[in-house]
Amino acid sequence: MTQVERPPRSDPGSTGSRGLAARVSLGRRFTPVSTEFLMIASAALMLTIFGLVMVLSATSATAVSKGENPMDGALRQGIFAVLGVPLMFLISRLPITLLKRMAWPALFGSIALQLLVFTPLGIEDGGNRNWIMIAGFTLQPSEFLKLALALWIGYVLMRKQTMLGTWHQVFIPVVPVGALAIGTVIAGKDLGTAMVLVIILLGCLFFSGVKLRLFILPVLLGVVAVIALAVTSPDRMRRITATCSDMSAYTGDCYQSIHGIWGMASGGIFGVGLGNSQEKYGWLPAAGNDFIFAIVGEELGLIGCIVVLALFTLFTIGAFHIIRKTADPFIRVAAGGITVWITGQAVFNIGVVIGLFPVMGVPLPFMSQGGTALLAVLIACGVLLSFARTIPVAEGRSAARTPSAGRGKVTR
């Protein structure tokens, strides 16, 4: 008699084990992220979307008056947003070791890119030579220099962590190389960006834990450099010393500042309505760029301004939590530099709009029209998100995503 072989019976335990392994593998791909990650990512996304809406509102009127497509400004900004947001999340997956290895190439690559503004590719606007034209797009290399400087200083000071008690270990090579990077921007007469770079350098030194007595000297050098740049330029001195408290300066250096304040004042609490600004109809120069916060105040009122401030506060708190919780000196210093860059630039921009500071040509991060600035800020947020992945997740949230040990077993 022929014996028929029966197929082997499947082991319920092995099936359960395979199911458990599959769930664990899937869980590794979708690991829980820290609260800091969620705070920074959500703030960056909401500010970017908010900015696209306001750029469309602020630029459409002047575009129509010039016979152009009213959507052009928003579409160009949208292209950089569509590139920047996926890039932000892609960079958030990069390991910290790779970011450390990229520090030196990123810095000197950014300096080389900045030097292109002095070639035939360079463009001068408003007395500043800080842009290049490539394939029909205007790019501002100094925006990438901000991130590169923060990463590079973080890497250098991490390597010198045990030697930061002496002045020459603190200053060399940070101050000379930092001065070289800042000098390439100053050569293009862009004082606003140069001031932001100085703040990044000082912020990195501060978060590295440098002793106060060693920190005072670079602060003084930075202040002296800014004063010297202002004094040597009659135009800058005129803007800094201008008094915008009366109508006598209306047609002079205070024209832009006064119209910005008028726009904010006319908005009241709830604003005149999205798209209903009067100042954007040629009255307020750079309505979609440096003074976009004035359009927010006019169209969306105090409520809209509070929303913008709340989102920047959310971003800043998340970034400072990373700085406070990390044990890696590279992360602490680089994250500190990125945070003072984005938050400090927002403070300067809003301060200019409400009349606290002279007009310096500093855009509002995430929101002002300018594709290069938006792309650079989103890349910087990606670096912060990569740092945030190193922060331990709250125990309760982590346990909620972990498969229980008893799953996959067959009970009889």
Q: What dihedral do alpha carbons 115, 121, 124, 129 form, nearest 10°?
A: 0
- Residues of the chain under the 50 pLDDT cut: 1, 10, 20-28, 395-396, 399-412
pLDDT value of position 34? 87
H-only helix segments in 283-328: 292-325
The C-alpha atoms of residue 261 and residue 289 are separated, in whole angstroms, by: 16
Q: Which amino acid is at 43?
A: A
> Which one, of 392, 381, 380, 384, lies nearest residue 325 by Cα?
392
For 133, other C-beta atoms within 10 Å of its C-beta total 12
pTM for this structure? Answer: 0.86
DSSP codes joined into one string, 194-240? HHHHHHHHHHHHHHTT--HHHHHHHHHHHHHHHHHHHHT-HHHHHHH
Token pair of 213, please? Answer: 């007595």
H-only helix segments in 92-190: 96-101, 103-115, 142-159, 167-171, 174-186
pLDDT value of position 29? 53
User: Domain residue spans in the chain?
Assistant: 34-392
The C-alpha atoms of residue 356 and residue 321 are separated, in whole angstroms, by: 29
pLDDT value of position 311? 98
Question: 325: which residues sit within 8 A by CB, 6+ positions away?
Answer: 36, 391, 392
The packing angle between helices 142-159 and 103-115, to 10°, is 150
Token pair of 318, please? Answer: 């998340």
CB 271 within 8 A of CB 297: yes
pLDDT value of position 322? 96
pLDDT value of position 241? 62
Q: For residue 410, what is the DSSP state?
A: P
CB 182 within 8 A of CB 194: yes
- Taking CA atoms, 106 is separated from 42, 149, 279, 406, in Å, by 27, 8, 40, 49
pLDDT value of position 87? 97
pLDDT value of position 314? 97
The C-alpha atoms of residue 262 and residue 159 are separated, in whole angstroms, by: 51
Kindly report the CA angle at 129 between 126 and 134, in degrees rounded to 5? 110
CA 113, distance to chain mean position in Å, is: 19
Q: For 139, phi and psi rounded to 5 degrees?
A: -120, 150
CB 305 within 8 A of CB 297: yes
CB 43 within 8 A of CB 315: yes
